[in-house]
Every structure is written in C-alpha cells, then in structure tokens.
C-alpha cells in the first residue's frame, strides 16, 4: 500500500499526464489476459498486446515482490518525455495496487542478442550482414547521444547490453529498459552512487570502484563499447567454453591481432568493405572501453569516428589491465543504489 502511495505521489510531481493511464482491466483486455509472452526478467514479464486503435504494444508487468517501485519510477521519469527514433516509446502505464505495468510501442524483431551470437543456431552474422550490424551500431550511438545531450534532461542508462536493444521490422535499433537509469540536472553528468548497477560484463570499472574515476555518461560509453565488440566477435566477450585461455577474452584477443597487424579472422568477412566495417567497429569499441573514463570518447565523438574514414582511426592504448574474472553469460543485475 505504501508503495502504491509512493508511486501516486511520484506521478503527481512528474505531471505524467502526457502518458495515458490505463486500468488493470484495460491491461488484461489489451493482452488478451496475458496470452502472448514476449520475455521475462528480474523486473517481471513482457506481453504482446493491442490497443483499441489497432496499434500493437508491448506490456511490461512489473514484479510485485521486487523493489519498491524504483523500476517504474526510473522508466517513467526517464523516457516519458523522450522522443527519438532510436529510443523505445513509452505510451502509457497502469498503477492499480498492487499491479503496476508499463505500455510500450511494439518492436517486432525483439532484442539484438537473438541475432549476434554465432553459437545461436537460429541467427548468425550471415542473417544480418556486416552493413546491418554497422547500421545498428550507428543507430544505438545516435540514441545514446540523444539521451546524453539532446534530451530535455541528461539521462544515463546504466544497462546498455544486447538484451536491452530492440530491433524494429527494418532492424533499426531502439534503446529500451530504463529501470536502472539516472537523471542528471545541469551540464555535468557526474553523479553520486552508492553501490554498482548494471549487468556483469558491461559495467564500467568506475561504477564498481571509484578508484577508476567519477561516474558519468562515460559509463554508458563503456557498456556500448563492450556490446559493439560482442557484435563484431559474434559471441560474449568472455567465453568460458574456449579451451585456449589466451582467446577467452575477445577484446584482448582482437586487440593483439590489431597490434600485430594480423588478419582479424572474423566470421562472415568476405569483402574489403566488410573488413573496413569490422575494423572500424573494433577500433571504436576499444576506444570506448578504456579503463580511464576521461580517455573514452563522448557519444558525439563515437558517431564521428563510426561515420568517418577507418584510415583516420588510430589504435587506442591497451584498454585493460587483465582479463576479467567474471563468467560468461551472467545476466543478473547488481543491486540498485
């Protein structure tokens, strides 16, 4: 009950009247009593639905037993007033104790992770192609640049990963799931945090330990870089199934090949144009995962690098001290501060 009161108080302060409020009975009706489940996570479950005007939607029903409404508050506060082709649109919400739900535009191709890992027998790089991967990487960069600089308020996402990138019918990417997002008032994006947030394998080092620097929008840049390297490599950056220990950590492995000017040895690269795309994505990704946040480019610079000439890109300093100790496949989200 207190949770419901907190959410109602939040909605009043936010003036979330721009979003349509639905009753829980409306949510049941639009999802046909939750017949078509699209996915599930620690936050709850997502179902396919249809509005009265015929528009398809994705309905996220938040877990009643987890958290104190932070996921709902973060989502509504961060993206209720955003408008960008590369950010998923929030269309409405439901707060009817103890039920809480969020209604989004429906994105038909689902999440990026379904398409980029070669070990998945259903989808590989041969289905998307390097030009499509490149287009997706640029689209995500545009979305993040908007959140960091072009939005009504600076938004730090803190959970950029393939699972949270949705693809529309033309494989245009949309950044989704703002449950861990932070809003920044003013020009500076440096924020105070108690504890880490994000998903293992994509969390910037300064989010875990302030010894690496202050937490800012550069944390999203790091996550973006790790994700782009996974797009290039076609597998998780940390792959415990690989028997050769020197090749477990993909960023380290590919950096060594670049440094020694060896063949990249990547899946599906058959033309000079594809080689240039792959090399450009690798170089930008390695710049994005520099340990020192101040050495990482802002997303506006990332876009310049991606859209410019590969010959203009320099090999960055080695962006890691050693291979990470975390295991591949960890999708658990750390505690929210």
Beta-bridge partner residues of 21 = 93
Burial of 312 (0-12, 13-18, 19+ CB in 10 A): exposed
Give the pairing type, strands 56-62 and 44-50.
Answer: antiparallel
Q: Compute the distance between CA of residue 131 and CA of residue 141 in angstroms, rounded to an integer.
A: 15
Distance of CA 127 to the CA centre of its chain: 21
Q: What is the 3-state secondary structure (H, E, C) of 77-139?
A: HHHCCCCCCCECCEEEEEEECCEEEEEEECCCCCECHHHHCCCCCCCCHHHHCHHHHHHHHHH
Yes or no: say if 310 and 276 are a contact pair by the CB < 8 Å rule. Answer: yes
Q: Compute the distance between CA of residue 226 and CA of residue 95 in angstroms, rounded to an integer.
A: 36
Yes or no: say if 238 and 316 are a contact pair by the CB < 8 Å rule. Answer: no
Crossing angle of the two packed helices 2-14 and 70-79, in degrees rounded to 10? 10
Catalytic residue among 26, 71, 159, 177: 159
Does 60 appear as a known binding residue? Answer: yes
Q: Compute the distance between CA of residue 217 and CA of residue 228 in angstroms, rounded to an integer.
A: 17
Secondary structure percentages of the chain, helix, strand, coil, to 5 = 40, 15, 45
Q: Compute the distance between CA of residue 180 and CA of residue 173 in angstroms, rounded to an integer.
A: 19
Q: Is 177 a catalytic residue?
A: no
Annotated binding site: 60
Annotated binding site for ATP: 60
Catalytic residues, by residue number, are 159
């Amino acid at each position: 009950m207190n949770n419901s009161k907190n959410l109602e108080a939040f909605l009043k302060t936010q003036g979330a009247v721009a979003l349509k409020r639905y009753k829980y009975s409306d949510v049941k009706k639009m999802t046909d009593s939750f017949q078509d489940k699209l996915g599930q996570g620690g936050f709850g479950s997502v179902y396919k639905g249809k509005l009265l005007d015929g528009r398809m939607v994705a309905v996220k029903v938040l877990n009643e037993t987890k958290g104190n409404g932070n996921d709902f508050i973060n989502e509504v506060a961060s993206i209720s007033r955003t408008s960008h082709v590369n950010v998923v649109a929030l269309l409405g919400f439901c707060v009817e104790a103890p039920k809480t739900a969020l209604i989004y535009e429906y994105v038909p191709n689902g999440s990026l992770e379904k398409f980029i890992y070669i070990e998945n027998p259903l989808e590989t790089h041969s289905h998307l192609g390097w030009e499509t991967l490149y287009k997706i990487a640029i689209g995500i960069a545009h979305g993040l640049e908007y959140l960091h600089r072009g939005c009504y308020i600076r938004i730090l996402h803190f959970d950029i990963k393939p699972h949270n990138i949705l693809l529309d019918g033309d494989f245009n990417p949309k950044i989704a799931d703002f449950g861990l997002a932070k809003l920044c008032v003013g020009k500076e994006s440096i924020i105070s945090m108690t504890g880490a947030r994000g998903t293992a394998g994509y969390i910037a080092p300064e989010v875990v330990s302030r010894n690496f620097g202050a937490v800012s929008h550069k944390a999203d840049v790091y996550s973006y870089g790790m994700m782009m390297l996974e797009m290039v490599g076609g597998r998780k950056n940390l792959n415990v199934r690989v028997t050769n220990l020197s090749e477990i950590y993909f960023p380290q492995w590919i950096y060594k090949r670049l440094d020694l000017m060896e063949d990249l040895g990547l899946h599906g690269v058959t033309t000079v144009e594809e080689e240039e795309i792959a090399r450009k994505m690798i170089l930008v990704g390695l710049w994005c995962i520099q340990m020192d946040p101040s050495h990482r480019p802002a997303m506006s610079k990332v876009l310049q690098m991606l859209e410019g000439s590969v010959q203009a890109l320099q090999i960055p300093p080695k962006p890691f001290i050693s291979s990470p100790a975390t295991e591949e496949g960890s999708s658990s989200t750390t505690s929210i501060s």
